[in-house]
Amino acid sequence: MHVATVNLRLKEDKHSEAVSAIDGFIRRMHAWPGCLTCRLLTDAGDGQSLSLVSEWDSREALDSFLASREFLILQGMRVVLREEPQIVLDEILIRSRISLGSKTY
């Protein structure tokens, strides 16, 4: 599995405008073949910092989206951003799930 995180730092007065644009972006991303899930997260200490985290079933699917016209929507969002988006790509080799009630981690 592959995880792409896009970190966004918004201008002070552009939060609602940015979230509106990101909503449509998330819908298109989630409909893209190979996208397993995507989430928009807000930094608890800085409400102007957002992270868009998506999980992909293959690197090919992720690369296909990153090379698409749909991904270029982020470039159009530059007017609401303080700085260029930062993209972090991770490959997950092993994933485990635990119950919070479990005594062993």
* Total domains present in the chain: 1
* Stretch among 50-59, 63-72, 74-83 having the lowest mean pLDDT: 74-83
Q: Is residue 77 part of a domain?
A: yes
| Phi, psi dihedral angles at 76 (to 5 degrees) | -70, -15
| Tokens representing residue 80 in the block | 């609401």
**Residue 84 is part of a domain; what is its CATH number?**
3.30.70.100
Res. 30 pLDDT band, cuts 50 70 90: very high
Long-range contacts from 43-47, C-beta under 8 angstroms, 24+ separation? 47/15
Residue 101 lies in a domain: no
Whether residue 99 is contained in a domain is answered as no
pLDDT at 7 over 70: yes
Identify the domain containing residue 9 by its residue range: 2-91
Q: Is residue 105 part of a domain?
A: no
pTM: 0.83
DSSP 19-45: HHHHHHHHHHHHHSTTEEEEEEEEETT
Confirm whether 32 is domain-assigned.
Answer: yes
Kindly list the distances between the CA atom of residue 52 and the CA atoms of 94, 100, 104, in Å, as whole numbers in the listed order.
22, 25, 31
**pLDDT surpasses 80 at 103:** no
